[in-house]
Amino acid sequence: MNFDFTEDQHEIKRTARELLAKRSGLEQVREAAEAEAYDESLFTELRELGWTGIAIDEQYGGAGLGVVELMILCEELGYALAASPFLANALGGLMIEHAGSDEQRAKWLPGIASGEATATVAFASGGSSEVVPDADSAAVIVLIEGDEATLVAREDAEVETVSTIDPTRRYARVSASGGEALPGDVAGALARAEVALSAEMVGIAQRTQEMAIEYAKERKQFDTPIGAFQAVSHRCAQMLFDTEGARSATYFGGWAADADQSQLALASAIAKAAASGAALSVTASSIQVHGGIGFTWEADVHWFFKRAQLDAAMLGGAGKQRAKVTSLTASSLASAGGA
Amino acid sequence: MDLTFNESESAFRDELRAWIKANHPGEEPAGEDEGYAFRRDWQRQLYEAGWAAVHWPTEFGGRDATLVEAAIFNEELARARAPFPANVLGLLLAGPTLMIWGTDEQKQRYLDPIMSGEEIWCQGFSEPEAGSDLASLKSKAVRDGDDWLVTGQKVWTSGAQYSKWCMFVARTDFDAPKHKGLTYFILDMEQEGVEVRPLRQITGDPEFNELFLENARIPAANVVGGEGNGWTVALTTLMNERAGLAFGLQVGMKVALDELTEELAASGKLDDPMIADELGALHIKCEILRLTAYRGLTATMKYGQPGPEGSLTKWMWSQGNQELMQFATQALGPQSLAGGSSWGRAMLRSRGNSIEGGTTEVLKNIIAERVLGLPRKK
């Protein structure tokens, strides 16, 4: 029992934090959001560092590490709120690697690993999906309907850019008829994608918690730092409660994906529910701690709040995950009782 | 990251599980005194087989168990629905506090009877006017030759009626700042000058007591950690209180949650999506508590003493357990609040969870100030 990263994993986390502090500071996030365009050189740098291939098998040009390492990068990218197609590409890659055929893997994973031909994924209905992250720049799009997933090449789909409340990421409407089914374990692949997405939300919650605390230490009213008032400090303690809970659940999901897949379905549902809840509540609470300034365009906290809204709704909201937790638990109790 | 038990942890668990299976004492009898006697016998059984204090060092009769093994011990007891040992405050609080602060004579004298359950311990910290603001306590100890004479009142003392000894904090210096004038004593409960009055709680049970002291006598040799050092010694006790119990409590919550899930499934209520949703949320909270407790445990093993993070799991558990019990009784319906249903009683008892061992409000203060580094409260 050792619920902590290895030295190498800590090193990945440290390196990612340092790099993103330089390359994706809040000014750069603001610049990208206001322009509604990415700084392409950021993604290029991440590609060159091999981040895009971190969890992809070596035979496809990846680094062959696990979901845990990918999760660490996603958390740090969420912490920095980096504006790039990294997450969509990673999620699409997980779908194809874990549910695709050998042929599909061979065709798409090398481009996903190098970041030269990116992927994305979204829930769809009748072959179309209203909000797909980074579909306009993707080479391949995975659409999930119920228990099935379909892979569509970009040129076979209609893709139309849409604007959402989250200008830190690009989204598009996608519709496609046809495409190829992913023949493998769609649920298992989706569970891994949920963990990676959860990790981004843990990073978002962590960052906005830190922003609130920093502000509460400095901002004075009644000649007192507002963080000394319990109405404020208890709100901050609640942020830690939510963030750390989501972190525990997400790290467990990452571990289950790499080391014990029998626990993955439940672990990923718990991670997604907890991380969605934490990202929504902590970002909202951070706006509140910032007071009037927190509601202005000039403060940075709203970028995180907006990204959290989209992330939490993607790949099924917390309600769907809670229902899944209940049904998985009830059926495992029933089979234990019947045995 | 490795969330499996290693070979020796698995071996520990398997040995313990087999032992509990062979020695399980059955259902606890009804009635406060009968239940207590039953748990005391159970502790004796654990003691004789070397299981009573697995987390204690071998030199004091424990197994020198790692924190993980100690967690496994609590998990396995709860999973088998075996009772916790009667002298839980002695095992988790008094023993570890004496190991850190006690003299050699004190360790020799007190530790073994704590483990065997021969001498039960209670905790005399809170007072009617000093609850969360513990350092403002007023019980007074004055020197009388080789002894101290204590006068005052304590409250919420669980198990006082069964106790031989009390971890007792009193003020010995009235001129010093409030945190500096306290001393930690071992008080003999079996003497004139100590009166125990049962305090009936909202469940109707007298689980707690009030303690009245009128010139009760404590030999100077029973000071723990030195005169005037009582606050620091008491903090050791409180940290152990919050860190040690999380795993057993989590499994207790999990057992109740699984029972509830089965009852709701059997009655068809689980088909109601609102019920399924709330139940899912509770399972998520329960699992997060387990995982966060293990993360805290890994951190403690790497960096030493239990830290203020224990406050987080205590908060998670008390909130989760209260929500569980409130949800259970409403979802199961009025019959769960009638007559012999254990849910009604458990729901009432759960209201104490966010008060005992540090109120949630105090835990939030600790997290805000000591984990998040916010300025001291106004």
DSSP A300-314: SHHHHHHHHHHHHHT
Give dist(CA B170, CA B163) in Å, integer. 18
Pairwise CA distance, residues B78 & B293, whole Å: 16
- Count of beta carbons in the 10 Å neighbourhood of residue B156: 23
Instruction: Tokens for B12, please give them.
Output: 């520990």
| Strand A158-162 relative to strand A220-221, pairing | unpaired
Strand (E) or helix (H) holding A123:
strand A119-123
Mutate to test the interface with B, among A326, A331, A332 (most CBs of B within 10 A): A326
In this complex, is the C-beta atom of B272 within 8 Å of any C-beta atom belonging to chain A? no
Question: Of all helices (H) and strands (E), which one includes residue A160?
Answer: strand A158-162
B368 with A237: Cβ contact below 8 A = yes
Please state, in angstroms and rounded to a whole number, the distance separating the CA atoms of residues A265 and A263: 6
Closest-CA distance, B324 to chain A, in angstroms, reads 14
Mean pLDDT for the stretch of residues A14-42: 97
List CB contacts (< 8 A) between A257 and chain B: none
Q: How far apart are CA A160 and CA A171, in angstroms?
A: 9
Q: Taking CB atoms and an 8 Å cutoff, what residues of chain A touch B371?
A: 240
Query: What's the distance, CA B307 to chain centroid?
Result: 16
Report chain B residues whose CB lies below 8 A from the CB of A68.
1
Q: Which of B76, B119, B241, B309 is catalytic?
A: B241
Judged against a pLDDT cut of 90, whether residue A16 lies above it is answered with yes
Read off the DSSP letter of residue A185.
-
Q: Show me where the domains of chain A are located.
A: 187-334
Q: Do A1 and B3 touch (CB under 8 A)?
A: yes
Interface list for A 186-215 with B (CB within 8 A): 213
Tell me how far apart the alpha carbons of residues B134 and B195 are, in angstroms, rounded to a whole number: 21
Restricting to A residues 48-77, those with a Cβ less than 8 Å away from any Cβ of B are 68
**Mean pLDDT along residues A130-153:** 97
- Contact list in B for residue A337 (CB cut-off 8 A) is 262
Three-class HEC string of A197-235: HHHHHHHHHHHHHHHHHHHHHHCEECCEEHHHCHHHHHH
CA-to-CA dists, residue B165 to A313, B16, B120, angstroms: 57, 30, 6
Q: How far is CA A189 from CA A90, A96, A185, B1, B55, in A?
A: 12, 8, 6, 21, 41
Taking CB atoms and an 8 Å limit, are B9 and A273 in contact across chains? Answer: no
For residues A193 and A315, is the Cβ–Cβ distance under 8 A?
yes
Residue B224 three-state SS? strand
The ipTM assigned to this model is 0.96
Cα end-to-end span (Å), chain A:
29
Q: Report the predicted TM-score, pTM, of the whole model to 2 decimal places.
A: 0.94
Q: Which fold has domain B7-86?
A: Butyryl-Coa Dehydrogenase, subunit A; domain 1 (1.10.540)
CATH class of segment(s) B121-229: mainly beta
Looking at beta carbons, which residues of chain A come within 8 Å of B284? 249, 270, 273-274, 322, 325
Q: With contacts defined as CB-CB under 8 Å, which chain B residues touch A195? A: none
User: Hey, is the C-beta of A335 within 8 angstroms of any chain B C-beta?
Assistant: no
Run of H or E including A179:
none
CB contact under 8 A, B374 and A236: yes
- Token pair recorded at residue A242: 């939510």
Of B2, B273, B288, the CB nearest to A249: B288
How far does A284 lie from chain B, in Å, by closest CA? 18
pLDDT for position B311: 87
pLDDT tens per residue across span B157-171: 999 999 999 999 999
Q: How is domain A187-334 classified at the CATH fold level?
A: Butyryl-CoA Dehydrogenase, subunit A; domain 3 (1.20.140)
Q: Pick from A321, A264, A73, A4: which is nearest to B292 by CA?
A: A4
Provide the 10 A C-beta neighbour count for residue B70.
Answer: 23
Cβ distance of B372 and A237 shorter than 8 Å: yes
| Residue percentage of chain A with pLDDT more than 90 | 98
Q: Do A273 and B6 touch (CB under 8 A)?
A: no
Question: Cα separation of A248 and A231, whole Å?
Answer: 26
Region B245-371: CATH code:
1.20.140.10
**A15: Cβ contacts below 8 Å, ≥ 6 apart:** none
pLDDT per residue as tens digits for the range A292-329: 999 999 999 999 999 999 999 999 999 999 999 999 99
pLDDT computed for residue A339 by the predictor: 44
Q: What pLDDT score does B240 carry?
A: 66
CATH 2.40.110.10 boundaries in chain B: 121-229
Asked if A272 and A194 count as a contact pair (C-beta separation under 8 A), the reply is: yes
Does residue B241 have an active-site annotation? yes
Decide if pLDDT at A272 tops 80. Answer: yes
Give the nearest partner residue to A213 out of B276, B291, B374, using CB atoms: B374
Across chain A, mean pLDDT equals 97
Q: Which residue has the tokens 């990918």?
A: A70
Is the pLDDT at A191 greater than 60? The verdict is yes
**Alpha-carbon gap, residue A195 to A94, rounded angstroms:** 11
- In sequence order, which residues have a C-beta less than 8 Å from that of residue B336 and are 6 or more positions away? B328, B329, B343, B344
Could you report the per-residue pLDDT of A280-294, keeping only the tens digit for each?
Answer: 999 999 999 999 999
pLDDT tens, chain B, 378 aa long: 889 999 999 999 999 999 999 999 998 898 888 999 999 999 999 999 999 999 899 999 999 998 889 889 988 988 898 888 999 999 988 999 999 999 999 999 999 999 999 999 999 999 999 988 889 999 999 999 999 999 999 999 999 999 999 999 999 999 999 899 999 999 999 999 999 999 999 998 888 899 999 999 999 999 999 999 999 999 887 776 655 567 878 888 999 999 999 999 999 999 999 999 999 999 999 999 999 999 988 888 887 766 677 789 999 999 999 999 999 999 999 999 998 789 999 999 999 999 988 899 999 999 999 999 999 976
